[in-house]
Structures are given as C-alpha cells and as structure tokens.
C-alpha cells in the first residue's frame, strides 16, 4: 500500500482536529502521480479533492478499506497499526512549524529514501516531497 501524508517539520499532521495547511499545487502533484489510480481518502479529506480529476474512494477508515496495492491520502488516521501493509510512503513537508497535537506515527525503520524533490506551492514558498520505499 502507498500512503501519502503532509507533515510539518516536527512531523505534525493536525491541530485541534484540523489540518495544519492546504495547498492546491500539492493536490495537483498528488493527482498527477496517481496516473488514473483510485485514491482512498477519509470524508475529512474529500474537500481537498473536490475540483480534482481523480477517482476517489471515500471511507471512514481508508487504511482499513484499501487493498495492498492501493493508494491512500491520510490526514487524520494513525498509521502505526498498518505498518506491515505500507510499502511506500510519500511525505510532503510544509517546511514550517505549525501547532500540532496529532503526529505521524509510522516508524520509518526499514524504508529507504528513493527521491526528494522541492517545488513552490500555492501557499508555501517551498514544499519538499520525499518518497520512501520498503
């Protein structure tokens, strides 16, 4: 399973049950990389993709619903319990410190950094994209 997350510099994902930030260029990059594949998301993430040309599978727990070869965009779910199923992790880094109370909890031991790219977003001067594989 491939998992896509957005993190701040302290690996934070959310604060007070809200995403830390959103960026339309980042969403375009996610959709481009899907190459027509379905994207599993939670109802919370649906608004991010409302104008995107993407096949969505909206599930309360997308990690539980996804198959081994699926792609999941995760904002508000713990990843630790699915570590054995996750073989690729795409991390978009906001390159900022945001307030956070929900953190990325996947132990990255056993993953190898495959690529790093940087781009300018619509709301961030620099977004770093890191791709890890098992």
CB 26 within 8 A of CB 121: yes
Helix ranges (DSSP H) in the chain: 24-34, 62-65
* In the chain, where the domains are located: 2-133
pLDDT at 22 over 90: no
Percent of the chain with pLDDT over 70: 100
Residue 89: which of 103, 98, 78, 79 has the closest Cα?
79
pLDDT tens digits for range 85-95? 999 999 999 98
3-state secondary structure of 51: coil
Q: What is the pLDDT of residue 39?
A: 97
3-state secondary structure of 32: helix
pLDDT tens digits for range 26-77? 999 999 999 889 999 999 999 999 989 999 999 999 999 998 899 999 999 9
Fold observed for domain 2-133: Dihydrofolate Reductase, subunit A (3.40.430)
The pTM of this model reads: 0.95
Q: What is the pLDDT of residue 124?
A: 87
């Amino acid at each position: 399973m491939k998992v896509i997350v957005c993190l701040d510099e302290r690996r934070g994902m959310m604060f007070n049950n809200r995403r830390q930030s959103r960026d339309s260029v980042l969403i375009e990059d996610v959709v481009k990389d899907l190459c027509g594949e379905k994207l599993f998301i939670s109802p919370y993430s649906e608004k991010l993709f409302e104008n995107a040309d993407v096949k969505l599978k909206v599930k309360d727990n997308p990690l539980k619903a996804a198959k081994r070869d699926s792609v999941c965009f995760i904002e508000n779910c713990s990843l630790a319990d699915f570590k054995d199923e996750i073989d690729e992790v795409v991390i978009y880094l906001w390159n900022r410190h945001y307030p956070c109370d929900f953190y990325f909890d996947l132990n990255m031991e056993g993953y190898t950094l495959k690529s790093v790219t940087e781009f300018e977003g619509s709301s961030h001067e620099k977004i770093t994209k890191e791709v890890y594989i098992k």
